[in-house]
Amino acid sequence: MLGIFGKLLDSNEREVKSLKTTIDSIASFEKKLEKLDNKKLQTKFEEFKKRHEKGESLEDLLPEVFASAREAAKRTINERHFDVQLMAATTLHHGKIAEQRTGEGKTLSATPAIFLNAIPGKGVHLITVNDYLAKRDAGWMGPVYHALGVTVATIVHDEAFIYDPKYKDTSHEDKRLQHLKPVSRKEAYNADITYGTNNEFGFDYLRDNMVYKLSDKAQRGHYMAIVDEVDSILIDEARTPLIISAPAQEPTEKYVKFSKLIEKLDGTSDYVIDEKQRTANLTEHGILKIEKILGVDNLYEKDFSTLHHVEEALKARTLFQKDKDYVVKDGEVIIVDEFTGRLMMGRRYSEGLHQAIEAKEGVEIQQESQTLATISFQNYFRMYEKLAGMTGTAVTEAEEFHKIYKLDVVVIPTNRDMVRKDHPDVIYKTISGKYSAVANLVAELHEKGQPVLVGTTSIEKNEFLSELLKRKGVSHALLNAKNHEKEAEIISKAGEKGAVTVATNMAGRGVDIKLGKYVADLGGLYVVGTERHESRRIDNQLRGRSGRQGDSGETRFFISLEDDLMRIFGGEQVSKVMNFLKMPEDTPIEHGMVSKAIEGAQRKVEGHNFDIRKHTVEYDDVMNQQRQIIYGIRHKVLVTADNQGLDLKEEILDKIAITISGMVSSFSEEQDYLKLVEEYMTIVPLDQNSKKDLEQRLREFQETEKLTEFLVNLTADFYNERENNVGSETARQMEVFVYLNTIDQLWIEHLDTIDDLRSGIGLRGYAGRDPLVEYKKEAFDLFEKLVTEIDSEIVHRIFKVATQNQTPSPVVVGPSVEIRPEVDISLEQETSDPRPNVIAKEEIAKVGETKVTIERGGKVIGQETYGSSGELTKQHGKIGRNDPCYCGSGKKYKKCHYPN
């Protein structure tokens, strides 16, 4: 009966036992360290670094390092690490997940492991779930690190700070936020320790792979990451990737058209909805109807775009509900976060779904965007040499952590014994019956003075319950869609006598609830769940709010047969139990068997969701490999450029030589000189006279080898000639620019292609073949094509970049032939081509600004503007007349290179 879980507990016990021996050796250092004065303690970091360089491993150093961290915490924040916290720290150091219950002090637990891993000097990242916690925790633990001589910084959206006790910002009441001095992102990453959110770390990585200068990279590598609330980040949030995108120009009428089209369909005959899978599919009948309306013979043959639009419009109409999944406010469709119930301002669903919903709601439709860079959290975090995590709820997802991240879970004992009472679920027939029971219980507890925290799954339900409580005259705090700092303040008071707090699932997470005076005797914090979540883990998080550090407390979930989980997943199992128990019509029942049946249903859903995530990862792996290769090449180019050597020049000339020899070999079959010259001119543009001259000159060669040699040398001469004209520094810049820009541009197109491939792959009849295998194969072919294309583009673009004031000078080849590369013409051609093309003397082309959108989970998080010094941009060809000219002259475009 024990099964896997039993084995898990067994090995956990062994693990805990072995951790205990470490605790003893840590303790043995305490007396000695107590005697050190503060100055001496501050030199500890340097000392450990030296010893590590001389060969002591981190494992060797661990006991003394941990003991030093404990000493520092004692002196600075007056908290001495509990033994169980040091066990957690050891677990983190070993690259595992430490499951520590809420309120056990995970913030402090991480410090010894962070300190230890900062010793190799490669930086340690501590990942938090929101910006508020990133600042709070860095500022809170700042004094501990400072006392040890370690620097700590934090990165949040648009800002970065370093902990500096001398700096004081009194605009915050919370002392922990007062000593954070603003610094650049790069400085923050250069600190020994950097706190920040998963989003910011991920986006910085993507941004770093869009820069044109090595020194513009902010991150210095991915050595160790410790992820706080690791289940939220690596499981819940991992479902949606990070995306940086730019707006693309697509007409918006089509969304309206398709939305209207779907309106004409009939829900009983034209499509079927599967709530469980969250899918909506057209029936044969529905397809015929659409084909008739659109006047096409076969919808599936028309194009992916049409089909895609039809599908998104159908989803928008059938699966996405106003005031549940999203709200419409001030003419905008705003997503409601499924977990927290917050309004996700500015975030958008991807792949045209958001536009489809906008069309359905009849509000203004915002443009679809183009992905510039993207990565999933799975793949971001798998880059770290060492990864570890902490959370109150990991063990239910142990298998997933192990399979996807190779992270094992160790359940750390609590500091004090847990005395919280978890009552069995009570189950009602109807939702309204359930809610009035909840309201009654809350009123009763409130009367008695016992604080209550009610968790709900959405804003709507939050407000509904709030209304019920108002009618009963129960005063309460309502928590949703507020800012994290405020939320933190409210939730921290939820344990006071008589307090009633109604909160969406995870509002105010990361902040623990301390009990007020006399509350322990009243039974402690009472947590009421109003619905079971799909995942037991989320329910456990809610329960975990109560019973911290040996506090008394109670929890209970209220459920109705009309709840989503029951309707969609629980059905059979639960009704069987209900029948067995002969549930009466109008009274609720409370029985362990019901809770068990529900947990059985949850387990099924969890498994199902894990499968989906695993599936996503499998597909994602393909892109991930490709991204690593491309980013690797990119990085090499940046490093080469930074060294100012001739390596790139040689590489480019080699690529040209290969292209030329290809041209000559196809020429040898046809013997068409004019064609050869014209082909050559796609690399080096020539004026009309030079073209004729070159053709004549080529006719003199009999052997193709000699011909190739001549052309290759000629090209090298042109190249050197140009270099003499513009100066070698500019020549090097041109190389970097063309190289990187080509990679970026083609990579972005590739992202799009792969995206289409991926969404289309399921639609193709593969006659029983595995779509994943087919996808991998096709993606591989496309990638090979991409790599060839990058080379070809570089070859064909390098001679077409020009600088300001560059006058093409004649190149003399042999006694009678004068061949002139025609730079001016090519310049004009290139300006009408919407591609970045031109380089300036000092800087890479200054272009019009490009708005860049930062996106997660298909939801826009922020927008950025790129383009002041040559970062990736899509809009070089579309410079405004009044923008600074691309050539870097500083003059307006219309007064400089604007074509007359």
With residues binned 3-state (H G I as helix, E B as strand, rest as coil), the percentages for the chain, rounded to 5, are 55, 15, 35
State yes or no: residue 104 binds ligand ADP (CB under 6 A): yes
d(CA 253, CA 478): 41
Give the residue carrying structure tokens 């290759």.
Answer: 712
State the nearest-atom distance from the C-beta of 227 to ligand ADP, in Å.
13
SS3 501: strand
Q: At closest approach, how far in Å is the CB of 104 from Mg ion?
A: 9
Side chain identity, residue 346: G
Q: How far is the CB of 510 from ligand ADP (least distance, A)?
A: 6
- Identify residues 105-124 at the interface with ligand ADP (CB under 6 A): 105-108
Count interface residues toward ligand ADP (CB under 6 A). Answer: 14
Spell out where 306-356 has E strands: 326-329, 332-336, 343-344
Q: Which of 45, 48, 66, 82 binds ligand ADP (CB under 6 A)?
A: 82
341 near 479, Cβ under 8 Å? Answer: no
CB of 103 or CB of 570, closer to ligand ADP: 103
- From the list Mg ion, ligand ADP, none, pick the one residue 108 interacts with, judged by a Cβ distance below 5 to 8 Å according to partner type: ligand ADP
> Could you give the angle at the alpha carbon of 237 between the alpha carbons of 205 and 158, nearest 5°?
45
Q: How many residues bind Mg ion (CB under 5 A)?
A: 2
As a whole number of angstroms, the distance between CA 599 and CA 592 comes to 11
Angle at 281 between CA 276 and CA 283, to 5 degrees: 130
344 part of the interface to ligand ADP, by CB under 6 A: no
- Can residue 241 be called a binding residue for ligand ADP (CB under 6 A)? no
Strand-pair category, 369-375 with 97-99: unpaired
- 93 vs 429, beta carbon nearer ligand ADP: 93
Nearer to ligand ADP, 107 or 837 (CB): 107
Site string for ligand ADP, 849-888 (x = CB under 6 A): ----------------------------------------
Span from 80-88, 283-291, 336-344, 612-620 in contact with ligand ADP (CB under 6 A): 80-88
For ligand ADP, the closer of residues 137 and 368 by Cβ is 137
Nearer to Mg ion, 453 or 474 (CB): 453
Q: Using the rule CB under 6 A, give the single segment among 75-83, 174-182, 308-316, 405-413 that binds ligand ADP.
A: 75-83
Residue pair 442/451 in contact (Cβ under 8 Å)? The answer is: no
- Candidates 90, 102, 456, 715; binder of ligand ADP (CB under 6 A) is 102
CB of 219 to Mg ion, least distance (A): 24
Nearer to Mg ion, 140 or 326 (CB): 140
Q: How far is the CB of 242 from Mg ion (least distance, A)?
A: 23
Q: What is the DSSP letter of 688?
A: H
- When the beta carbons of 85 and 197 are compared against ligand ADP, the nearer one is 85
Residue 340 interacts, among ligand ADP, Mg ion, none and using kind-specific CB cut-offs from 5 to 8 Å, with none
- Give the pairing type, strands 180-182 and 159-163: antiparallel
Of the candidate residues 413, 508, 510, 570, the single one contacting Mg ion (CB under 5 A): 510
Q: CB 86 → ligand ADP: shortest distance, Å?
A: 10
Assess 75 for contact with ligand ADP (CB under 6 A): no
Q: Choose between 148 and 594: whose C-beta lies nearer to ligand ADP.
A: 148
Q: What does the radius of gyration of the chain's CA atoms come to, in whole angstroms?
A: 32
- Under the criterion CB under 6 A, does residue 103 sit at the interface with ligand ADP? yes
Beta carbon of residue 154, minimum distance to ligand ADP (angstroms, whole number): 16
Q: Does residue 106 interact with Mg ion by CB under 5 A?
A: yes
C-alpha closest to that of 565 among 611, 608, 531, 530: 531
Backbone dihedral angles phi then psi of residue 160, each to the nearest 5 degrees:
-145, 150
Tell me whether residue 109 or residue 378 sits nearer to Mg ion (CB atom): 109
Task: Please provide the size of the chain in residues.
Answer: 900
- Can you tell me whether residue 272 is helix, strand or coil? strand
User: Cβ closer to Mg ion: 140 or 428?
Assistant: 140
Pick 178 or 436: Cβ nearer ligand ADP: 178
For the CB of residue 166, give the shortest distance to ligand ADP in the complex, in Å. Answer: 24
The span from the CA of 442 to the CA of 2, in Å, is 37
* 171-230 positions binding ligand ADP, by CB under 6 A: none
Contact 507, 340 (CB under 8 A): yes
Q: CB-wise, 128 or 826, nearer to ligand ADP?
A: 128
In the bound complex, what is the minimum distance in angstroms from residue 866's beta carbon to ligand ADP?
Answer: 37
CA 115 – CA 834 distance, rounded (Å):
50
Nearer to Mg ion, 545 or 722 (CB): 545
Q: Based on CB atoms, which residue is closest to Mg ion, 106 or 289?
A: 106
102 binds, among Mg ion, ligand ADP, none (CB under 5 to 8 A by kind): ligand ADP
If binding is defined by CB under 6 A, does position 79 make contact with ligand ADP?
yes
Q: Contact, 310 vs 299, CB < 8 A?
A: yes
Instruction: Read off the tokens for 384.
Output: 């770290």
Place of tokens 């891993």: 117
Question: Does residue 370 contact residue 522 with C-beta atoms inside 8 Å?
Answer: no
Gap between the Cα atoms of 207 and 217, Å rounded = 8
Nearer to ligand ADP, 41 or 89 (CB): 89
What 3-state DSSP class applies to 2? coil
Q: Which residues contact 35 (CB under 8 A, 6 or more apart)?
A: none
Strands 859-866 and 850-856, bridge-based pairing: antiparallel
Partner whose footprint covers residue 105, from ligand ADP, Mg ion, none (CB < 5 to 8 Å by kind): ligand ADP
Query: Is residue 438 within 8 Å of 530, Cβ to Cβ?
Result: yes
Q: To 10 degrees, the CA torsion angle through 773, 775, 781, 785?
A: -160
Type of residue found at 72: A
- Check residue 691 for interaction with ligand ADP (CB under 6 A): no
100 lies in the binding site for ligand ADP (CB under 6 A): yes
Which of 408, 512, 735, 830 is the binder for ligand ADP (CB under 6 A)? 512
Q: Nearest to residue 80, comparing CAs of 390, 307, 384, 415?
A: 415
Sign for the pseudo-dihedral over CA of 100, 61, 134, 206: negative
Residue 723's binding partner among Mg ion, ligand ADP, none (Cβ under 5 to 8 angstroms by kind) is none
Cβ–Cβ < 8 Å for 825, 687: yes
Q: Pick the closer one to Mg ion by CB: 511 or 839.
A: 511
What residue type is 851 in one-letter code?
Answer: K
Span from 74-82, 282-290, 433-441, 480-488 in contact with ligand ADP (CB under 6 A): 74-82
376 binds, among Mg ion, ligand ADP, none (CB under 5 to 8 A by kind): none
The residue with its CB nearest to ligand ADP is: 105
Smallest distance from ligand ADP to CB 528, Å: 20
The set of residues, in sequence order, having a beta carbon less than 8 Å from that of 198 and lying 6+ positions away, is 127, 129, 227, 233, 237, 377, 380
CA distances from 863 to 158, 350, 871 (A): 11, 15, 15
Does residue 30 interact with ligand ADP by CB under 6 A?
no
Q: Kindly report the CA angle at 647 between 645 and 651, in degrees rounded to 5? A: 155
Of 44, 52, 81, 543, the one binding ligand ADP (CB under 6 A) is 81
Q: Which sign, positive or negative, has the C-alpha torsion 178, 182, 187, 189?
A: positive
Instruction: Decide which of Mg ion, ligand ADP, none touches 79; Cβ closer than 5 to 8 Å per partner kind.
Output: ligand ADP
Q: Which is nearer to ligand ADP, 103 or 352 (CB)?
A: 103
Residue with tokens 């670094």: 49
Q: Which stretch binds ligand ADP (CB under 6 A): 46-54, 99-107, 623-631, 700-708?
A: 99-107
Q: Which does 745 bind (CB under 5 to 8 A by kind): ligand ADP, Mg ion, none?
A: none
Which residues contribute to the site for Mg ion (CB under 5 A)? 106, 510
Which residues contribute to the site for ligand ADP (CB under 6 A)? 79-82, 85, 100, 102-108, 512
